[in-house]
Structure 1
Amino acid sequence: MIRNFGNKLGLAWWAKIETDQPSITYWFGPFITKRSLKENMSSFIKDLSDEGSKNIKHSLIRCKKEEPLTV
């Protein structure tokens, strides 16, 4: 609940994760702190890698994000 409130205010942390093969942008979040995002992101990236995604790049962004979370 607090994460959703932080997101509505534009204070939440998100990871923008882009992959090639397939060419997809994922948004992973929201997180209250940058630290908690970093702690949880490795498992998400591992899942993408295990599914065969190639050339995985990411950036950490503090913003307000809504659907869609996968493009």
Structure 2
Amino acid sequence: MPTIINVHEAKTHLSKLLKRAHEGEEIILAKDGKPYARLLPLEDMQPRVPGLIDGWIDDSFFESLPEDELNAWDQ
């Protein structure tokens, strides 16, 4: 069951709440007693690998459009 914390208290204890969320606890932030947002731990993010989609787009993607199609955009 998630813990519900009002925004005012969350501002006062943000570092502690972030630590709890990082450890896996779900924390609901409430505004005027109503659920407003939630703090959750981030899933392990893998570093981005450049060039992963290399070869998915062929050179025709960058060719100019035919004249009749270009003219259709001007209408």
TM range (shorter): under 0.3
Asked which structure has the greater CA Rg, the reply is 2
**Greater RCO between the two (CA within 8 Å, min separation 6)?**
1
Q: TM-score normalized by structure 2?
A: 0.25
TM-score, reference length from structure 1: 0.26
| Structure with more strand by fraction | 1
